[in-house]
Chain A
Amino acid sequence: MTAVNILSVCGSGTVTSSMVATKLKEKLKDRGYSVTTTEARPTEALNLAQSGRFDVITHTSPLPSGDYGIPTINAFACLIGMGEDQFFDEVVAALKAAGK
């Protein structure tokens, strides 16, 4: 299992980011990843991204513009349950591109 760190972002940093984080852990486990997540608000995202601790950012609210340095992936499909697989594929592709 490859350990990866994902920053999950939503408006309040509590509800939808947690929902997405749970699904990421579950689905990516099947693909060989052991996922650790941190939930945050959009205002906290840039700072956290620049800390270098995370491999990928997933978000259900728009991120303020900035240089995040890592892939940022819209997680909305994960919430509505439609087009979810595509979202997980995108996350995995981003992780692989980062060498993980």
Chain B
Amino acid sequence: MIWEDLNEKLIVPDLEAESSSDIFRRLGGLLVSEGYCKDTYVQALIDREKEFPTGINMGNIGIAIPHTDRGHVNSGKVAIGILKEPVHFYQMGSTDVAVNVKIVFMLAVDDPEAHLPFLQRVLLVLQDQQVLERLMQVKSKQEIIHIIKEKEQEL
């Protein structure tokens, strides 16, 4: 389950950022300081995003799933940020489709095979418009965990 492994230190319900790089420094920084990722992680996120953007318009809700390849990760984890103000990302697979991102699921994956069920569940959570709407309204870490827990229990 995603919710059981969520670390409160890695959840930011009122993230202030002006750019995707800000987000990477903030959330990525947490993953590094908590030991899940190497020091190279943040720069790798910034570099990767330039080449392979991770924004996705889920209906009319903008989300992003920034991540790097496994070389920068010590152990698998997710950091979640809900942005106070939307931040611009480009959409995955495009060079010019803008996504106004409000919800960020930053994934640190060291072993995709081992994390497949987890990744599948993240995808199902992110494909649920109602869950996304609720996440955008949250004020606390606990609420975020609760919403994800509820969704997972119905999967």
On A, residues with C-beta under 8 Å from B are 10-16, 18-19, 22-23, 39, 41-42, 59-62, 74, 76, 79-82
Contact of B109 among A15, A42, A81 (CB under 8 A): A15
> Among the listed stretches B14-22, B26-34, B62-70, which one makes contact with chain A, having 4 or more residues with CB under 8 Å of it?
B62-70
- Kindly state whether residue B56 has any CB partner on chain A within 8 Å: yes
Known: A12-B48, A15-B67, A81-B127. A76 touches B92 (CB 8 A): yes
Give complex CA distance A15, B120 in Å.
Answer: 10
Q: How far is the CB of A24 from chain B (nearest CB, A)?
A: 12
Q: How far is the CB of A29 from chain B (nearest CB, A)?
A: 15
Interface residues of B, count at CB 8 A:
25
Task: Give the most central of B51, B67, B69, B112: most A CB within 10 Å.
Answer: B112
B69–A12 touching, CB < 8 Å:
yes
Q: Mark B43-81, 1 if CB is under 8 A from A, else 0.
A: 000001001101011110000010111100000000000
B68–A12 touching, CB < 8 Å:
yes
Contact of A79 among B69, B70, B92, B116 (CB under 8 A): B92
- Kindly state whether residue B107 has any CB partner on chain A within 8 Å: yes
B51–A11 touching, CB < 8 Å:
yes
Give complex CA distance A61, B91 in Å.
Answer: 10
- Quick one: closest A residue to B120, CB to CB? A22
B136 contact set on A, CB distance < 8 A: none
Give complex CA distance A59, B67 in Å.
Answer: 17
